């Protein structure tokens, strides 16, 4: 890797770390549990550990952690084994991506926990990011376990599929603000609890095969399954098409009202194995620009 690791005072510091910008990573819509602190750092919980991340000049500082957890948990979570300079160089051959990467140069794709991501993206359908975050927080507080307090804020683990399989649908719907998605959450959790679909088996499947399997869950369609594959199962060629990506793809590459399947085919052909990374740069770019609002018919 292109950086040096220093450990001190319950912190891990990566010196001269490139391609790592907390704002880009945590606000490109892939993760919903990162809380921004007053000093611009971000705090979240993953695998029963609370961590705080901050960029300080040329370095990135990880607080409330140690060498062992960093190597065993966070190295993989933050995708630190991957060469993002190479990915950006390859994608920059396309002029649109070259511009998009200027906006979100510090984006990385996190490796998150499958069950939490499945439920999070079921909630994301026809929803807004602030509200998605709120629902996930409420669910964790009610059904997860208290783990730690950091900077005055309590952190709770995301509940297991066994817990959510037995949750009350009306309680989720009303008190946790997920609305009609509540039954999808409970029924998906039940399918996993009953062993109808083995999540671990998806790691070794192709993207297309994994997508077919995930779409068996209620509330999971083409877009949500693509997100799950990209953000939890390491499928780099998955290309989730939400309203923003649809707009920006039509704006720069295709005509308006292109069918989702055709956008998908185009993206896979154009970006190939890097489609997932391209999607993240494009999504961030589209939202920064507000593409589509001005472009709308």
Partner DNA sequence: GTCCAGGCTTTCC
Partner DNA sequence: GGAAAGCCTGGA
Q: What does the angle CA 25 – CA 27 – CA 33 come to, to the nearest 5 degrees?
A: 90
Which is closer to DNA, CB of 72 or CB of 175? 175
Instruction: Assess contact for 26 and 37: CB atoms under 8 A.
Output: no
Residue 207 engages DNA in binding (rule: CB under 7 A):
no
128 lines the binding site for DNA (CB under 7 A): yes
Q: Pick the closer one to DNA by CB: 49 or 223.
A: 223
Among 11, 142, 222, 253, binds DNA (CB under 7 A): 222
Max CA separation in the chain (angstroms): 56
Q: Which of 122, 107, 116 is nearest to 23 (CA)?
A: 107
Asked if 105 interacts with DNA (CB under 7 A), we say no
Closer residue to DNA, CB minimum distance, 67 or 259? 259
Least distance (Å) between residue 151 CB and DNA: 22
Residues paired with residue 156 on neighbouring β-strands, in sequence order: 146
- DSSP state, 202? G
Pick the binder of DNA from 7, 90, 173, 250 (CB under 7 A): 173
> Quick check: 256 and 292 in contact, CB under 8 A?
no
Query: Which residue, 63 or 264, has its beta carbon nearer to DNA?
Result: 264
Cβ atoms within 10 Å, residue 8? 7
User: Which span (64-72, 88-96, 125-133, 204-212) binds DNA, by CB under 7 A?
Assistant: 125-133
Phi, psi of 258 (to 5 degrees): -75, 140
Residues lying near DNA in the complex (CB under 7 A) are found at 28-30, 124-131, 134, 173-174, 177, 179-180, 184, 215, 217-225, 227, 240, 242-245, 259, 261, 279-280, 283, 292-293
């Amino acid at each position: 890797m292109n950086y040096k690791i220093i450990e001190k005072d319950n912190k891990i510091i990566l010196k001269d770390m490139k391609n790592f910008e907390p704002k880009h990573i945590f606000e490109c819509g892939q993760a919903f549990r990162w809380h921004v602190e007053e000093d611009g750092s971000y705090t979240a919980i993953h695998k029963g550990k609370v961590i705080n991340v901050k960029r300080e000049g040329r370095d990135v500082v990880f607080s409330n952690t140690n060498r062992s957890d960093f190597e065993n948990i966070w190295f993989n979570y933050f995708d630190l084994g991957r060469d993002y300079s190479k990915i950006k160089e390859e994608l920059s051959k396309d002029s649109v991506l070259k511009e998009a990467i200027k906006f979100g140069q510090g984006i990385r794709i996190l490796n998150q926990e499958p069950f939490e991501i499945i439920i999070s993206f079921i909630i994301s359908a026809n929803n807004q990011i602030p509200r998605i975050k709120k629902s996930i927080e409420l669910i964790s507080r009610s059904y997860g376990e208290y783990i730690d307090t950091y900077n005055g804020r309590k952190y709770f683990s995301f509940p297991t599929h066994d817990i959510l399989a037995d949750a009350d649908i009306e309680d989720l719907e009303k008190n946790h603000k997920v609305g009609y998605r509540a039954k999808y959450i409970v029924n998906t959790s039940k399918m996993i609890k009953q062993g109808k679909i083995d999540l671990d088996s998806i790691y070794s499947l192709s993207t297309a095969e994994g997508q077919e399997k995930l779409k068996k869950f209620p509330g999971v369609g083409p877009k949500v399954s693509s997100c799950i594959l990209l953000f939890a199962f390491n499928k780099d060629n998955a290309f989730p098409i939400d309203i923003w990506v649809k707009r920006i793809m039509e704006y720069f590459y295709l005509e308006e009202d292109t069918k989702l399947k055709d956008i998908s085919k185009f993206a896979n052909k154009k970006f190939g194995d890097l489609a997932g990374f391209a999607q993240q740069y494009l999504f961030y770019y589209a939202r920064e620009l507000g593409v589509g609002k001005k472009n709308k018919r």
